[in-house]
Structure 1
Amino acid sequence: MKKLILALAASALFSCSVKEKNADANMLENLSYTVDTVLIETGEELLFLQSDLSHSILSNDQARLYNFTPKDELEEIDLDRLSLLRKITTVREGPRGTGLPYALQFDVDGRWVLFGYNEVRIFSPDLDSMQRYPITEEDLIRIKPGMLAPFNPKVVDQGVLYAIYETYEQVPQGLAIVSLEDRIAKKIPLEIADRIVPFTYSLFVQGRLSNKSYEPISLMLVDNELIVSTAFTNEAIIIDLASDSVRVKTFHSSLTQDKRPLPDLTSAETINELQDLIREGDKGVKFGPFYFDRENSQFWRFSRELDREIGDSLIFKNVLTVFDEDLNQQGEMVVPVDPFSKKFFKDGKLWSYVNVDDELGFAVMDFKF
């Protein structure tokens, strides 16, 4: 694998290209790709990159990226011109307050959707008006017993919220479909508890449970189907929203394991012990969320598995798997891309966030079959 060498041009915008062809006939034998790394021009302005674009959102026309900062600012980035356009000041409280969102999204009508803990705030496209929807268990009809998982991705489409619901003991149970206007929740049970519970880590302080955590369950809405996946198993749970039917598609990888090995221990009494347990568990395979390339009608998913250890450093093998529009696996290959960096498709090319000396950059991958 050739190294991607980054050279900064005088204009503060750089682009370099690596062309590779996969030679393994058992993988994606007809796939070739280029990687161009581009840097966003910001002038004298500094961008907020400490959260690795975790609070960023792509516009529906794929032309602009908005990054929400702890200063309650939206950094508006022109992806066509590769430059920062402006910083939009917002307020945290009041009739147009953003609250403390942990995720953002645009709905099909171009409205801003801000997900906060136990609430959803929907803003008009010009950010001129806001409607707040509380989503605690007391606010929702038919969600009890149970509650919406607070840290999992949610998808809103035309006033409908899709979220994982769980028990009071933080055991995921299935999918909740919530009408935000009338606050009615419909439950679709899923057999996901046995996929998550063995990998749930618990912190006990003086013998009492202090915290439980598991990796987020990924939700992806494509047309009238919702795809649910976890980081631990090589599969997809597909929900037909028209009929509420559920089917599971399992896949096989020749490059990684198909399931993460069960950890020997999942409970700790100190933060350091817990971090050590999680680090050991991370050596196993980890599957990322699905991405949909609408221009080419294909699904993409990145995963990783430990390749080797050098001292205290863990070296991972990063794998790309490609699926057709019906989630039939087409092939897989090792790629030089961080599998869990911020990613999105723009004009049929995959953009993956990279930090280049504290400057905002993207590795733009153009795949050819």
Structure 2
Amino acid sequence: MQRLFLIFCLGLFFSCENSKESKNPENGNILENLTFSVDTVVIDAGEEIINLKNGVRLASVNESKSHFYLFDDKGSQVQKIYLDKLAWEENLPFEKEGPNGIGTGRHSKVIVYSEENFLFVSFPITGIFSKEGGLLKDLTIRYEDFKIEGQEEDESLNLTSQLTLADDQKTAFALPTNLLKGTRKLVKLDLEDSTGKILPIPALDIASEYHIIRQVDDMGMTIYTEPIHIQKFGSDVYLLTQSTNKIYQFDFHTDSVQLHEFDFTIVANQKEIPVKNKVKTEEDFASQIEKAKSQINFEKLIYDEQSETFYRFGRKNIPQANKEVQKIQSFLFAFDKDLNLIGETELKGLETLPESPFFKDGKLWSYVNVEDELGFAVFTFDF
């Protein structure tokens, strides 16, 4: 393991609804004096080739954080990485077709569960498979079989979009998106009786205000949209977007919804400068995107089980005369396990935010490509 000092690594990577406004606790800002160091580690793949063509978009870690599982779509296999030994361990092959097939379409999610069972989400096949490749539970969702409460007439919904399962695997959330309108609808699904209902998420509607379309010709268009994410920690599901710091928390067990609102002091709580939603030229399209990205953008939540702390990065793009050069302002926010705000700070000099980050043993791991080898930047925080 090679120790990289901070000055060096900064240039490399870096059913009812309740509303709650988070307040800083009495102990103040835990990130006020934050410093950190970074190690880079590279996975020993031996004679194997770890496919990084698509990065680690389809990867997950197990509950103990001992292993990292990366789906290689080309090889139709999950590549199992032993993080404690920083080495490739084995490949787990899966069939694409047949009764145990995971499908030949594009997968939107591959998640590892206990005992190395895997959730594969794609259109049209979704299911839970054993590590030996056998289909354990067919969760394929056929839109025409579901009756969705609150659905508009003639409205078609993609019920596998960001599909997120409850622990009992009987209930799920999906987040269909209308790309032309930039709108999202949160759908709660009962997988046993093929019913569902649309749940309102008005606090995140701001994401649709930063939806930009450029009509290229009669047959095509270019679209910029700000994502809304569904994340699951424990038995709860969290809904958030990069356009605002507000977070919805859904409890599967009590069927309750809570809206968390925060009053940040170092950045705005949400984007404030409007953009044009429809443009004609490529230059205007790029200009409006730059306007959206130069405002505050919030990343996904990251949870450290060791300290029972949530973290969330934020960023602002700094416009440059040379469009090939990109610089950002980086921010970090901390919350306790109940999502009370307990810290905020600007990370001066951090030019790239961690990619696909997760906590392991109290340290933040972030994917890096090291000359086409799988690597991780490992952040150690000192409060």
1:229–1:237: 8 Å Cα contact kept in structure 2?
yes
Shift of 1:340: 5.5
* Amino acid aligned to 2:355: S
Aligned partner of 1:323 in structure 2 is: 335
Q: How far apart in 1 are the matches of 2:90 and 2:280? A: 46
In structure 1, which of residues 180, 183, 188 is the aligned counterpart of residue 194 of structure 2?
183
**Aligned residue runs from structure 1 range 57-206, under 5 A:** 57-71=60-74, 72-99=76-103, 100=105, 101-107=107-113, 110-142=116-148, 144-145=151-152, 146-149=155-158, 152-157=161-166, 158-159=168-169, 160-165=171-176, 172=183, 174-192=185-203, 194-206=205-217
2:224–2:289: 8 Å Cα contact kept in structure 1?
no
Q: How far apart in 2 are the matches of 1:350 and 1:162? A: 28
Confirm or deny that 1:18 pairs with 2:5. Answer: yes
2:207–2:242: 8 Å Cα contact kept in structure 1?
no
Distance 1:314 1:171, change over 3 A: closer
**Aligned residue runs from structure 1 range 266-281, under 5 A:** 266-269=277-280, 274=285, 277-281=288-292
Q: How far apart in 1 are the matches of 2:179 and 2:293? A: 26
In structure 1, which of residues 309, 314, 326 is the aligned counterpart of residue 326 of structure 2?
314
Instruction: Return the TM-score normalized by structure 1.
Output: 0.83
Distance 1:17 1:271, change over 3 A: same
Confirm or deny that 1:362 pairs with 2:366. Answer: no
Distance 1:66 1:175, change over 3 A: same
Aligned partner of 2:248 in structure 1 is: 237
Number of residue pairs the alignment of both structures matches: 352
Shift of 1:300: 0.7
CA offsets per residue over residues 161-211 of structure 1, 9 Å max, x none?
Answer: 212245696554543222333322233222156312211122424457756
Shift of 1:19: 6.5
Q: Considering Cα pairs closer than 8 Å and 6+ residues apart, tell me whether 1 or 2 has the greater RCO.
A: 2
* Amino acid aligned to 1:358: D
Stretch of structure 1 that moved more, 163-172 or 87-96? 163-172
In structure 2, which of residues 356, 360, 363 is the aligned counterpart of residue 346 of structure 1?
360
Q: How far apart in 1 are the matches of 2:203 and 2:161? A: 14
In structure 1, which of residues 294, 298, 301 is the aligned counterpart of residue 305 of structure 2?
294
* Amino acid aligned to 1:16: R
2:236–2:250: 8 Å Cα contact kept in structure 1?
yes
Stretch of structure 1 that moved more, 136-145 or 271-280? 271-280
Query: How high is the sequence identity, in percent, across the aligned residues?
Result: 26
1:113–1:156: 8 Å Cα contact kept in structure 2?
no
In structure 2, which of residues 280, 291, 294 is the aligned counterpart of residue 283 of structure 1?
294
Stretch of structure 1 that moved more, 161-170 or 194-203? 161-170
2:244–2:271: 8 Å Cα contact kept in structure 1?
yes
Instruction: Give the RMSD, CA atoms, in angstroms.
Output: 3.0
Shift of 1:326: 1.1
Shift of 1:324: 0.6
Q: How far apart in 2 are the matches of 1:337 and 1:86? A: 35
SS in 1 for 2:206: helix
SS in 2 for 1:305: strand
Q: How far apart in 2 are the matches of 1:266 and 1:31? A: 39
Distance 1:124 1:321, change over 3 A: same
CA offsets per residue over residues 52-80 of structure 1, 9 Å max, x none?
Answer: 20111112331111111231232211111
Stretch of structure 1 that moved more, 204-213 or 117-126? 204-213
Unaligned runs of 5+ in 1: 1-13
Shift of 1:255: 3.5
* Amino acid aligned to 2:241: T
Q: How far apart in 2 are the matches of 1:168 and 1:28? A: 38
1:27–1:333: 8 Å Cα contact kept in structure 2?
no
Distance 1:152 1:296, change over 3 A: farther
Shift of 1:274: 4.2
Unaligned runs of 5+ in 2: 8-27
Shift of 1:308: 5.4
2:161–2:176: 8 Å Cα contact kept in structure 1?
no
